[in-house]
Chain A
Amino acid sequence: MDNILDVVGAVFLAVGCSLTLVAAIGLVRYPDLISRQHIATKPQVLSLIFNLTGAAIIVRDSSMTWTMILVIAFQLITAPISAHMLSRAGYRTGRVDTSELVVDDLHEDLHVAPPHGDNRENIR
């Protein structure tokens, strides 16, 4: 039984590390900030989940498992937040080529005149 669990954990670790490599390759090859943001966020979180699950399966310690669950939950909450903030900051500081975008909802919020009394430009 222990042997089987070790093998399962090793498979998880291998998949996780491969996904980290996928994220890194995408980071090098993708052309602009938004697509790099995309490739850096999604495989990164999945690889982290695989890595930490693999370690938890191999070690098989209760405090270890709970901490891994905590870290995974924290990453699932914070990775979208940081990705969103970086992309939004990139858009607002003019580092995104808006002519390449298919859907551009922020343009309406930022450049069309807001109705009277709207102080939306103070929100960043």
Chain B
Amino acid sequence: MILVVAACGVLLFAAAIAVLYRIERGPSTLDRMVGVDVMTSVVLGALALLVAYTRRADLLAVFVVVSVVGFLGSVAVARAARPEDPGKRRILTIEEERAIAEAEAAEEDSQTDEDNAEPVHPDGSDEEDTDG
């Protein structure tokens, strides 16, 4: 029995590693959510192994709760999915973040300069005065 449980544990561990790789790589939120679904299944399998090895019957509620939470999580993420910009699919490095922040700051500076500039025709009557 211990041998079977150990072998199954190794299989589940390898599965969990593979699923973690997919969750890390993405590339989109929905791919990650698919990975989380499979991870829920891995957790349920590990619980089944634990129950089979120790023969305890007090973990029943955990099975129900884990399966319900996995379902609700993926449905919630699917509902909240939005179209995403292909350029924003990865986390930026610190240098890229800094460059973007500097560009935004420069843009704000130029805008405030325009706001503070002297109006060309303050009362709208300059040209008429010189003509008349």
Q: How far is the CB of B6 from chain A (nearest CB, A)?
A: 11
User: Are B19's CB and A27's CB within 8 A?
Assistant: yes
Q: Across the interface, which residues of B come within 8 angstroms of A47, CB to CB?
A: 41, 45
User: Are B52's CB and A20's CB within 8 A?
Assistant: no
User: Are B67's CB and A68's CB within 8 A?
Assistant: no
Q: Give complex CA distance A28, B25 in Å.
A: 9
Given A17-B11, A71-B64, A78:B84 Cβ within 8 A: no
Q: How does the 8 Å CB contact mask read for A60-88 relative to B, with 1 for contact and 0 for none?
A: 01011001101100110011011101101
Most central of A41, A48, A51 by chain B CB within 10 Å: A51
User: Are B41's CB and A55's CB within 8 A?
Assistant: no
Q: Across the interface, which residues of B come within 8 angstroms of A63, CB to CB?
A: 57, 60
Which of B30-38, B91-99, B113-121, B123-131 makes up part of the contact surface? B30-38
**Number of interface residues, chain A, beta carbon within 8 A:** 54
Q: Across the interface, which residues of B come within 8 angstroms of A59, CB to CB?
A: 51-52, 55, 57
List CB contacts (< 8 Å) of B1-25 with chain A.
Answer: 1, 4-5, 7-8, 11-12, 14-19, 21-22
**Residue A122, interface by CB 8 Å:** no
Given A6-B1, A25-B18, A17:B45 Cβ within 8 A: yes
Q: How does the 8 Å CB contact mask read for A73-105 relative to B, with 1 for contact and 0 for none?
A: 011001101110110111011110000000000
A48 partner, pick from B17, B31, B45, B77, beta carbons under 8 A: B45
Q: Give complex CA distance A55, B14 in Å.
A: 21
Q: How does the 8 Å CB contact mask read for A24-58 relative to B, with 1 for contact and 0 for none?
A: 11011000010011001100110110011011001
Q: Give complex CA distance A68, B19 in Å.
A: 24
**Residue B48, interface by CB 8 Å:** yes
Q: Give complex CA distance A20, B30 in Å.
A: 20
Q: Across the interface, which residues of A come within 8 angstroms of B63, CB to CB?
A: 52, 67-68, 71
Q: How far is the CB of A15 from chain B (nearest CB, A)?
A: 10
User: Are A67's CB and B60's CB within 8 A?
Assistant: yes
Q: How far is the CB of A83 from chain B (nearest CB, A)?
A: 8
A positions within 8 Å CB-CB of B: 6, 9-10, 13-14, 16-18, 20-21, 23-25, 27-28, 33, 36-37, 40-41, 44-45, 47-48, 51-52, 54-55, 58-59, 61, 63-64, 67-68, 70-71, 74-75, 78-79, 81-83, 85-86, 88-90, 92-95, 124
